[in-house]
Amino acid sequence: MSHEDVNPRSTLSVSILSGKGGVGKTNLALNLAYALYKASHKMLVMDFDVGLANVDVLLGVSPEKNLQDLLKPGVMPADVVAEVEPGGFDFLPAASGVPELLELDEDMRDSVFTKLNTVLGEYDYVLFDLGAGIGKTVLALASMTRMRVLVVTPEPTSLTDGYAVVKVLKNQHNIKDFQVVVNQASSAKEAQLTFDRLHGACKRFLDLDIGYLGAVHTDPNVPEAVRRQVPLIKYAPQCRASQDILSLAIKIARHRAESKSHLKAKAILKKITHG
């Protein structure tokens, strides 16, 4: 399956990944989606953290169907996708601890995405919340998206495991473009130093330049929003972490605009070349 398979028309597919759990990856994915939705973009969040699916928990919803059902004949995305907010914020739930979902083989992925491709083009953004680590399903899905956002924290173990994700995706899938978010940062200086350490390792050992998307500061409103099962940007839109996430969303929107311009230029060139 190629990159193009999950990118109909001008949809920007973004995988949110991490080397280890506990770095706030899912919460960040949900809030980035909410920020983009509030900017009048149509959003689909797909929970592919099939080992420990919890987007539904963060939203306080109990979906009737989930990703597992898409593997069944006759079940289509419209039967599974749930509306989070009216007018363009949708959610594809996953199921926790289902063995056949933990390591989707190529045929199963093809089956799921053959169905999903019928609706992906309806959205401006599709965010994949992937499981932590370097499992086969995580690597395959991350390699399919146009944009990869790697979430790390200042903890050394997070950096080590984040580096492992970059290394494996580069060596096994020839992926060379990554955007890093430093989450749970105590200051801008700490965030920059954290990124610099990761960037230095990638440059030295992989000859790879990774990008710095930005940081999200530690904020007491974050655990409170999780407790209330409400997106942080909806619960406390003016807090520091919300403002950080809005800045990240703006950069992702800019990436989509640049991607659309590039695709349009390629289409024009193809038309000129082939008549």
DSSP letters along 142-156, please? HHHSSEEEEEE-SSH
Note the pLDDT of residue 272.
Answer: 47
Note the pLDDT of residue 2.
Answer: 42
Q: What's the pTM?
A: 0.89
Cβ–Cβ < 8 Å for 182, 195:
yes
**DSSP three-state, residue 89:** strand
Spatial CA neighbour of 25 closest among 5, 1, 53 = 53
Note the pLDDT of residue 64.
Answer: 85
Q: What does the pLDDT profile of the chain (275 residues) look like in tens digits?
A: 444 444 445 899 999 999 999 999 999 999 999 999 999 999 999 988 766 667 888 888 888 888 888 888 999 999 999 998 998 999 998 876 565 565 667 787 788 888 998 899 999 999 999 989 998 889 999 999 999 999 999 999 999 999 999 999 999 999 999 999 999 999 999 999 999 999 999 999 999 999 999 999 999 999 999 999 999 999 999 999 999 999 999 999 998 988 776 556 555 545 544 54
Instruction: Region of 88 please: left (phi>0), alpha (psi -120 to 50) or beta.
Output: left
Neighbours of 188 (CB within 10 A): 13
Q: What is the distance between the alpha carbons of residues 164 and 59, in angstroms, rounded to a whole number? A: 30
Q: Please state which of the four CATH numbers 3.20.20.140, 3.40.30.10, 3.40.50.300, 3.40.50.410 is assigned to the domain occupying 3-274.
A: 3.40.50.300
Q: Where are the beta strands (DSSP E) in 21-107?
A: 43-48, 82-85, 89-92
Cβ–Cβ < 8 Å for 220, 186:
no
Cα angle value 151/85/61 (rounded, 5°)? 75
Domain residue extents for the chain: 3-274
Q: What is the distance between the alpha carbons of residues 105 and 103, in angstroms, rounded to a whole number? A: 6
The single-letter code of the amino acid at 146 is: R
Spatial CA neighbour of 153 closest among 189, 128, 190, 179 = 190
Note the pLDDT of residue 274.
Answer: 54
Kindly list the distances between the CA atom of residue 255 and the CA atoms of 13, 102, 147, 194, 272, in Å, as whole numbers in the listed order: 11, 30, 9, 23, 26
- The sign of the dihedral angle between the CA atoms of 265, 266, 270, 271 is negative
Note the pLDDT of residue 48.
Answer: 85
